[in-house]
């Protein structure tokens, strides 16, 4: 869960193992006791909430960084798929060795 940005008490993260909503390009936002998930593509809150002032700041941040955020999500997604493929390959290799 790397922090990709931090400003005015707002923390923005992208999670590697986010299986609940992995099909959407999104970020996780934390501000004090508030949590929200924002769609990068549509710049809307998918889940949770944060105060209005911080919401405006996050929305502006998403617009400014939209292209970079999309690229980061794609790189993280590709990395995850590569790791899954490697784990499957390793499991298959071990399975074949056990049967020989």
- The reported pLDDT for the residue numbered 73 is 65
- The reported pLDDT for the residue numbered 8 is 96
- The reported pLDDT for the residue numbered 69 is 61
- The reported pLDDT for the residue numbered 72 is 66
pLDDT digits (tens, 9 = 90+) for 27-75: 899 999 999 999 887 889 999 999 999 999 999 998 888 777 667 666 6
Scanning the chain, the segments in alpha helix (DSSP H) are 52-99
Backbone dihedral angles phi then psi of residue 21, each to the nearest 5 degrees: -135, 35
Instruction: State the Cα torsion 19-23-26-32 to the nearest 10°.
Output: -30
Total domains, the chain: 1
- The reported pLDDT for the residue numbered 4 is 85
Q: Residue 14 belongs to what domain range?
A: 3-99
Is the pLDDT reported for residue 91 higher than 80? no
């Amino acid at each position: 869960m790397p922090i990709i940005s931090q400003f005015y008490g707002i923390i923005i993260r992208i999670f590697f193992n986010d299986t609940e909503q992995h099909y959407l390009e999104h970020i996780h936002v934390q501000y004090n006791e508030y949590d929200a998930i924002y769609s990068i593509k549509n710049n809307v809150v998918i889940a949770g909430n944060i105060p209005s002032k911080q919401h405006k700041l996050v929305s502006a941040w998403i617009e400014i960084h939209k292209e970079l955020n999309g690229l980061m999500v794609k790189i993280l997604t590709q990395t995850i798929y590569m790791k899954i493929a490697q784990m499957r390959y390793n499991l298959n290799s071990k399975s074949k060795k056990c049967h020989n």
